[in-house]
Amino acid sequence: MGRITLDKVSKSFGEVEVIPPLDLTIDDGEFVVFVGPSGCGKSTLLRLIAGLEDVSGGEIRIDKQPATHLPPAKRGLAMVFQSYALYPHMSVKKNIAFPMKMAGIPEAEQERKIADAAAALNLTDYLDRRPGQLSGGQRQRVAIGRAIVREPAAFLFDEPLSNLDAALRVGMRMEISELHKKLATTMIYVTHDQVEAMTMADKIVVLRAGVIEQVGSPLELYREPRNLFVAGFIGSPK
Ligand code: ADP
Ligand code: MG
Complex prediction ipTM: 0.99
Nearest-CA residue for ligand 1 atom 13 is: 39
Q: Is 191 in the pocket of ligand 1 (CB under 6 A)?
A: no
Q: Is 203 in the pocket of ligand 1 (CB under 6 A)?
A: no
Distance 226 CA to ligand 1 centre (A): 25
Q: Is 232 in the pocket of ligand 1 (CB under 6 A)?
A: no
Nearest-CA residue for ligand 1 atom 10 is: 41
Q: Is 48 in the pocket of ligand 1 (CB under 6 A)?
A: no
- Tell me the CA distances in angstroms from 200 to 20, 59, 79, 175, one per residue in order: 27, 28, 18, 10
CA 172 to chain centre: 14
Q: Is 42 in the pocket of ligand 1 (CB under 6 A)?
A: yes
Q: Is 138 in the pocket of ligand 1 (CB under 6 A)?
A: no
How high is the pLDDT of residue 82? 61
Give the position, in ligand 1's atom list, of the atom nearest the Cα of 42. Answer: 3
Give the closest ligand to the alpha carbon of residue 211: 1
List, edge to edge, every strand of the sheet that includes 16-26. 16-26, 4-13, 57-62, 65-66
**Hey, which residues does 94 pair with through a beta bridge?**
none
Q: Is 50 in the pocket of ligand 1 (CB under 6 A)?
A: no
C-beta of residue 137 within 8 angstroms of C-beta of residue 168: yes
Distance 216 CA to ligand 1 centre (A): 24
- Tens place of pLDDT for every residue, the chain, 238 residues? 679 999 999 999 999 999 999 999 999 999 999 999 999 999 999 999 999 999 999 999 999 899 999 999 899 999 887 656 789 999 999 999 998 998 899 999 999 999 999 998 889 999 999 999 998 888 888 988 998 898 899 999 999 888 778 888 888 888 899 889 988 999 999 999 999 999 999 999 999 999 999 999 999 999 999 999 999 888 655 4
Calculate the dihedral angle through the C-alpha atoms of 2, 198, 207, 234, rounding to the nearest 10 degrees: -160
- Tell me the CA distances in angstroms from 103 to 50, 91, 93, 99, 107, one per residue in order: 19, 19, 16, 6, 11
How high is the pLDDT of residue 238? 46
Distance 82 CA to ligand 2 centre (A): 10
Question: Which residues lie closer than 8 Å to 135 by C-beta, 6 or more apart?
Answer: 168
How high is the pLDDT of residue 166? 85
Give the closest ligand to the alpha carbon of residue 206: 1
Give the position, in ligand 1's atom list, of the atom nearest the Cα of 207. Answer: 3
Give the position, in ligand 1's atom list, of the atom nearest the Cα of 45. Answer: 6
